[in-house]
Amino acid sequence: METPDTRTSYSPKWQFRFNFFDEHGGPQDPRFKTALKALKFGEKLKVNMNFYAFFFGWIYFFILGLWRKALALVGLWVLLIVCAFLLPDVLVRGLGTAFSVLTAMAANYAFYLDRVKRSTSWNPYEGMRWW
């Protein structure tokens, strides 16, 4: 488990996220939602969304070193592509966008679980309130 002293190797943005998760728990914790509401808009986005994960998805998870979760996302992405052949184009675009948003919302907490809590789960959405 990482101590606050070993977190200095991370950028201030990641340190802010890690400290927020340490203090208020994860997205399933009732304290999280209350604390998130108290933040400014930019800070809410910093904690709750990762734009690199939105645009690059499973590739960004590999870059972060979350290879188990990245492989699970690849599997989900392949499943979405298979569904694309069976569904109308508009629905496929909506599902692709929803998949990207969910991945972006899960990335910060997934990285926290991996680095701080030493999680070895394959579930990319572990600990999310909607999972």
In a domain, residue 82? The reply is: yes
Matching residue, tokens 């699970």: 72
pLDDT of residue 39: 94
In a domain, residue 127? The reply is: no
| pLDDT values of the chain reduced to their tens digit, one per residue, 131 residues | 555 556 778 999 999 999 999 999 999 888 999 999 999 999 999 999 999 999 999 999 999 999 999 999 999 999 999 988 999 999 999 999 999 999 999 999 999 999 999 999 999 999 887 65
pLDDT of residue 8: 77
In a domain, residue 107? The reply is: yes
- d(CA 116, CA 71) in angstroms, rounded, equals 21
- What is the Cα 72 distance to its own chain's centre? 13
- Domain carrying residue 66: 4-115
In a domain, residue 130? The reply is: no
Q: Kindly give, in sequence order, each residue whose CB lies less than 8 Å from that of residue 54, ignoring residues fewer than 6 positions away.
A: 100, 101, 103, 104
pLDDT of residue 131: 54
In a domain, residue 124? The reply is: no
How much is the pTM?
Answer: 0.89
In a domain, residue 10? The reply is: yes
In a domain, residue 91? The reply is: yes
